[in-house]
């Protein structure tokens, strides 16, 4: 291939594949008119009941084995609940979380095509020798959890159309969720005709959270063309938009949230037992680039883009693109009861429009009038809510926040995909409406009926994982009582204002109306922050932290919205636009969020020269980040919202978790020790090393011939002669994108700025046309340098340093003195007790 002829690789890809043929829905077309597969064939939500088998009884410290304890934990929220009622509720809730996919196998099958074959979960669950991974190394290489009771499939399975899939361990008995009689699959198309219908929970794959479903499109014609060996070995066969595979893969919430129990890790992380797994830690070891691009080709720009997601981080706007690459850690779910308590004091939001259609606890028969959960909604439009997303956007109530998660992984994707162009963008985004989902999706209604049990499950089970209880954990903890007492004081003075849900009662005066969301929130926050710097606050906070019960039922976050201008962390997450008025998550964000004031001016740096310039932050909800919970912080490094701070260790052992924690906390409190060859200029004027994610080598954006529209396949021969820099024998290859290019310079192009983007395109065409036919990467880099500033001008997030900010307790703050080294060490010692 010759040199690059356009830097707009993502836009070019959108142009090339947007007209690719995909199978049309059998169940209607167009936003508001399409039905999901279940409703299409007459299956009601009542026919998709939650499973009741306590198959995962050994998980989560075996909580479901003790109904009396469950009832004790739930009684404050559901007064009078019996032990058996409590047990059944959390069993149904956990089953929903770990194994229920809500029909989203339809989405991931489409994404396999839209991503031009880069994502193929059917390969992810395979063991074929041609792959870079199998059950033997899935945890280390992919960061996914091997499901107990399966053994490696080291040969083609004839009962699975020749695919190399894991097999059920006979000593474990059958998977109860595969019971077709109890959980009959949705018969549509070929499913239930020439291919079995299976269960609506699918078949186990050997990976926790991924389930296998018969493909409704795998009719007799597709079956006749199916060749499993070519599927693994022949690119000309499998790299095609016309290939119909026998199975689709569905994803449960557990895929991104079930992980090894930090306090009871498996002896061999590739072979965990159920007692070694918890439902709530979040996928801290999840390699998005390898999972979402099964062949992990480092010369692919798309792979390099995904590689900016460090293990355990994922851009939640990946599918419904907002043109901002902002990978964020997958939230752990700890001390949900404490989080709800914070919401009752500071979580007031006002709802309007589609947001009013979210279910609230008051709607549930299981929540009696005497329950404190009743206080979280006041008709017609007032809600007290935890803010789950890192930018505090999903602010419509706990149940609404849960339901949004399921949509984001494919619930009622038939409707969801009508409102944007998946992955690529370029189409005006419109809101996904709850009212439409209730009318046209049986899966939505079934899921909405089950999410209260999920909430009860986490209220009962999401307890901290303490280092003191982990094998060898005590060896990493300070035995110096004086140092620990000093650490408490340092935490009270420096950290608790953001990282404690237990705060002085006077705090409420700074956030009137339980949150100050109906006034100028920024002024409320500023007054509160100034107060936290006073001796009055510290004198009130210290005895709270020094109390023996300080950590009990403490979410270790205030859940308040902190301006990114004060945090100085990377701004791409708080600049996300999916929750704005009229955008895809419009129905899941409050009017209060949409009315938040702009946070002011952010200082950003040119990614090449390092020159500092001012960037005026927009309003409408953007610009804020809620403080992370510090519950079990010892187990959750690397740090910052994108996992960019600290060395990643893959095993999940206590030793590796502590090595990662020690490295991350040191770089957090001593910014001069951070990694990178870029000089970060802070508001204080001091500098420290930082990282910008850049292409490590020349890269290309490729589309195999089989994924091109039919008319381009026909013209490929002549076009390869006329446009040799674009078309070749294997398809389309755009590049090289020069080594050292900031990846987000290309991924953050605001495609809504059409006139500006067009001007840059014309400039690129003119400049690059002058390149010699055999241009080198260095030649392309020189020409590309002329496009940098125009690209910055159309960036939705011109902030490129990923490991900056959060300078609290250091000398890098403008208005506070940093801690000395002994106080930092005392603070670290105290954090290890969380």
738's tokens: 């020069």
Which long-range contacts (C-beta less than 8 Å, at least 24 apart) are formed by 680-684?
Answer: 680/605, 680/801, 680/804, 681/603, 681/605, 681/610, 681/612, 682/568, 682/804, 682/807, 682/812, 683/568, 683/603, 683/813, 683/814, 684/807, 684/811, 684/812, 684/813, 684/814
Q: How many residues does the chain have?
A: 834
Asked if residue 766 belongs to a domain, the reply is yes
9's tokens: 């690789």
Last residue of a domain, one of 254, 272, 290: 272
- Alpha-carbon dihedral sign for residues 496, 498, 500, 501: positive
Q: Please give the model's pTM, rounded to 2 decimal places.
A: 0.93
Domain residues for 733?
Answer: 9-19+710-793
Identify the pLDDT of residue 22.
43
Please spell the DSSP secondary structure of 140-161, one letter per residue: HHH-PPBPTTEE---S-BGGGT
Report the pLDDT averaged over residues 167-196. Answer: 96
With 90 as the cut, is the pLDDT of residue 2 above it? no
Asked if residue 783 belongs to a domain, the reply is yes
Q: How many CB atoms are closer than 10 A to CB 713?
A: 14
Report d(CA 198, CA 185) in Å as an integer: 5
Identify the pLDDT of residue 48.
98
Identify the pLDDT of residue 780.
75
With 90 as the cut, is the pLDDT of residue 613 above it? yes
Identify the pLDDT of residue 732.
62
Asked if residue 314 belongs to a domain, the reply is no
Tokens 């097999």 belong to which residue?
167
Identify the pLDDT of residue 20.
45
204 with 113, same domain: the answer is yes
Last residue of a domain, one of 229, 252, 272: 272
Identify the pLDDT of residue 719.
47
Identify the pLDDT of residue 730.
58
Q: Name 297's Cβ contacts closer than 8 Å, sequence gap at least 6.
A: 303
Bridge partners, residue 645, by sequence: 639
14 with 157, same domain: the answer is no
Identify the pLDDT of residue 23.
44
Identify the pLDDT of residue 759.
81
With 70 as the cut, is the pLDDT of residue 527 above it? yes
- Angstrom CA distances, 650 to 274, 297, 448, 660, stand at 19, 21, 36, 10
Identify the pLDDT of residue 704.
65
- Angstrom CA distances, 681 to 608, 677, 728, 804, stand at 14, 13, 45, 9
210 with 114, same domain: the answer is yes
Last residue of a domain, one of 249, 272, 295: 272
With 90 as the cut, is the pLDDT of residue 95 above it? yes
Asked if residue 354 belongs to a domain, the reply is no
Higher pLDDT, 125 or 117: 125
Asked if residue 162 belongs to a domain, the reply is yes
Of the pLDDT bands very low, low, confident and very high (cuts 50, 70, 90), residue 773 is: low
Report the pLDDT averaged over residues 650-671. Answer: 98
The per-residue pLDDT for range 312-358, each reduced to its tens digit, is 999 989 899 899 999 999 889 999 999 999 999 999 999 999 999 99
Asked whether the beta carbons of 590 and 540 are under 8 A apart, the reply is no
**Number of separate domains in the chain:** 2
Among 486-490, 567-571, 736-740, where is mean pLDDT lowest?
736-740
Identify the pLDDT of residue 3.
36
132 with 15, same domain: the answer is no
Identify the pLDDT of residue 781.
81
Identify the pLDDT of residue 756.
84
15 with 136, same domain: the answer is no
Among 206-215, 279-288, 478-487, where is mean pLDDT lowest?
279-288
The per-residue pLDDT for range 30-43, each reduced to its tens digit, is 999 999 999 999 99
Asked whether the beta carbons of 644 and 671 are under 8 A apart, the reply is no
162 with 266, same domain: the answer is yes
259 with 159, same domain: the answer is yes
Identify the pLDDT of residue 765.
62
Of the chain, the end-to-end C-alpha distance in Å amounts to 55
Identify the pLDDT of residue 766.
64
Identify the pLDDT of residue 767.
67
With 90 as the cut, is the pLDDT of residue 486 above it? yes
628's tokens: 């992370």
With 90 as the cut, is the pLDDT of residue 80 above it? yes
125 with 226, same domain: the answer is yes
14 with 113, same domain: the answer is no
Among 565-579, 755-769, 800-814, where is mean pLDDT lowest?
755-769
Of the pLDDT bands very low, low, confident and very high (cuts 50, 70, 90), residue 286 is: very high
With 90 as the cut, is the pLDDT of residue 562 above it? yes
Single out the residue of 490, 497, 570 nearest to residue 527, CA to CA: 497
Identify the pLDDT of residue 734.
66
Among 35-39, 494-498, 644-648, 748-752, where is mean pLDDT lowest?
748-752
782's tokens: 């020189």
Report d(CA 15, CA 4) in Å as an integer: 17
Q: At what angle do helices 535-546 and 521-532 cross, to 10 degrees?
A: 80
**What average pLDDT is seen over the chain?**
91
Asked if residue 42 belongs to a domain, the reply is no
Asked if residue 340 belongs to a domain, the reply is no
Of the pLDDT bands very low, low, confident and very high (cuts 50, 70, 90), residue 154 is: very high
126 with 237, same domain: the answer is yes
Among 216-230, 390-404, 719-733, where is mean pLDDT lowest?
719-733
Omega before residue 638 within 30° of 0, cis: yes
Asked if residue 165 belongs to a domain, the reply is yes
The per-residue pLDDT for range 686-733, each reduced to its tens digit, is 999 999 999 998 887 777 666 665 544 554 455 444 444 444 555 566
Higher pLDDT, 780 or 474: 474
Identify the pLDDT of residue 9.
43
Report the pLDDT averaged over residues 416-437. Answer: 92
Please spell the DSSP secondary structure of 605-628, one letter per residue: E-TTT--EEEEEPP-TT-SEEPPP
CA dihedral 231, 234, 237, 239 (to 10 degrees): 90
Of the pLDDT bands very low, low, confident and very high (cuts 50, 70, 90), residue 433 is: very high
The per-residue pLDDT for range 350-384, each reduced to its tens digit, is 999 999 999 999 998 888 999 999 999 999 999 99
Of the pLDDT bands very low, low, confident and very high (cuts 50, 70, 90), residue 424 is: confident
Report d(CA 705, CA 697) in Å as an integer: 24
The per-residue pLDDT for range 242-273, each reduced to its tens digit, is 999 999 999 999 999 999 999 999 999 999 99
């Amino acid at each position: 291939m010759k040199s690059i002829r356009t830097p707009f690789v993502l836009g070019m890809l959108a142009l090339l594949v947007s007209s690719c043929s995909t199978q049309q829905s059998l169940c209607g077309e167009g936003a508001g008119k399409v039905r999901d597969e279940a409703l299409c064939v007459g299956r009601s939500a009542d026919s998709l009941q939650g499973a009741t088998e306590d198959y995962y009884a050994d998980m989560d410290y075996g909580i479901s084995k003790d109904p009396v304890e469950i009832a004790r934990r739930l009684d404050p929220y559901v007064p009078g609940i019996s032990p058996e009622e409590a047990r059944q509720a959390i069993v149904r809730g956990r089953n929903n979380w770990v194994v229920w996919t809500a029909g989203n196998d339809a989405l991931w099958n489409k994404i396999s095509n839209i991503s031009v074959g880069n994502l193929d979960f059917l390969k992810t669950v395979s063991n074929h020798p041609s792959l870079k991974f199998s059950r033997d190394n899935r945890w280390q290489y992919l960061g996914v959890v091997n499901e107990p009771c399966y053994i490696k499939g080291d040969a083609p399975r004839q009962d699975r159309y020749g695919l190399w899939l894991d097999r059920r361990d006979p000593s474990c008995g059958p998977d109860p969720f595969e019971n077709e009689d109890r959980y009959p699959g949705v018969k549509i198309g070929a499913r239930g005709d020439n291919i079995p219908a299976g269960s609506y929970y699918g078949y186990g794959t050997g990976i926790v959270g991924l389930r296998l479903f018969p493909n409704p499109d795998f009719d007799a014609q597709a079956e006749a063309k199916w060749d499993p060996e070519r599927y693994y070995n022949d690119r000309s066969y499998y790299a095609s938009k016309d290939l119909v595979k026998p199975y689709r893969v569905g994803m449960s919430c557990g895929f991104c949230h079930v992980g090894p129990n930090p306090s009871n890790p498996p002896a061999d992380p590739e072979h965990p037992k159920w007692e070694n797994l918890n439902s709530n830690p979040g996928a801290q070891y999840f390699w998005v680039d390898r999972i979402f691009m099964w062949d992990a080709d480092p010369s692919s720009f798309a792979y390099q883009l995904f590689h900016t997601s460090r293990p355990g981080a994922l851009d939640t706007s990946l599918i419904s693109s907002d043109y901002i690459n902002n990978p964020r850690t997958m939230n752990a779910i700890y001390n949900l009861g404490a989080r709800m308590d914070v919401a009752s004091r500071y979580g007031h939001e006002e709802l309007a429009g589609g947001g009013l259609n979210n279910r609230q606890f008051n709607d549930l028969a299981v929540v009696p009038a005497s329950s404190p959960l009743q206080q979280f909604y006041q008709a017609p439009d007032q809600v007290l809510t935890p803010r789950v997303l890192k930018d505090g956007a999903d602010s419509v109530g706990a149940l609404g926040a849960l339901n949004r998660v399921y949509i984001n992984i494919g619930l009622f994707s038939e409707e969801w995909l009508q409102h944007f162009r998946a992955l690529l963008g370029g189409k005006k985004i419109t809101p996904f409406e709850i009212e439409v989902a209730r009318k046209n999706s049986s899966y939505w209604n079934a899921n909405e009926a089950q999410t209260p049990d999920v909430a009860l499950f986490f209220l009962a089970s999401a307890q901290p994982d303490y280092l003191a209880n982990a094998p060898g954990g005590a060896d990493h903890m300070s035995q110096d009582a004086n140092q620990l007492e000093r650490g408490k004081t340092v935490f009270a003075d420096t950290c608790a204002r953001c990282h404690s849900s237990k705060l002085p009662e006077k705090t409420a005066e700074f956030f009137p109306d339980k949150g100050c969301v109906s006034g100028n929130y920024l002024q409320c926050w500023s007054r509160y922050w100034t107060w936290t710097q006073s001796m009055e606050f510290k004198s009130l906070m210290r005895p709270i932290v020094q109390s023996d019960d300080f950590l009990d039922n403490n979410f270790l976050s205030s859940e308040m919205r902190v301006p990114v201008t004060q945090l100085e962390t990377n701004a791409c997450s708080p600049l996300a636009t999916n929750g704005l008025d009229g955008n895809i998550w419009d129905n899941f964000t409050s009017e209060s969020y949409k009315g938040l004031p702009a946070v002011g001016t952010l200082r950003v740096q040119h990614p090449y020269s390092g020159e500092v310039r001012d960037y005026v932050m927009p309003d409408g909800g953007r610009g804020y980040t809620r403080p992370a919970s510090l519950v079990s912080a010892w187990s959750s490094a690397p740090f910052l919202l994108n996992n960019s701070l600290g060395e990643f260790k893959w095993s999940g052992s206590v030793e590796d978790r502590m090595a990662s924690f020690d490295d991350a906390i040191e770089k957090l409190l001593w910014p001069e020790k951070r990694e990178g060859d870029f000089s970060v200029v802070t508001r204080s004027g001091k500098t420290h090393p930082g990282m910008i994610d850049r292409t490590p080598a020349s890269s290309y954006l490729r589309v195999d011939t089989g994924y091109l529209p039919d008319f381009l396949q026909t013209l490929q021969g002549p076009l390869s002669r006329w446009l040799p820099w674009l078309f070749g024998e294997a398809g389309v290859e755009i590049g090289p994108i020069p080594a050292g290019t900031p990846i987000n310079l290309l991924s953050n192009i605001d495609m809504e700025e059409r006139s500006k983007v067009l001007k840059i395109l014309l400039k690129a065409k003119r400049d690059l046309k002058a390149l010699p036919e055999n241009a080198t990467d260095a030649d392309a880099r020189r020409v590309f340098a002329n496009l940098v500033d125009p690209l910055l001008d159309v960036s939705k997030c011109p902030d490129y340093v990923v490991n900056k900010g959060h300078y609290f307790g250091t000398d890098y703050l403008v208005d506070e003195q940093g801690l000395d080294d002994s106080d930092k060490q005392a603070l670290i010692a105290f954090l290890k007790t969380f």
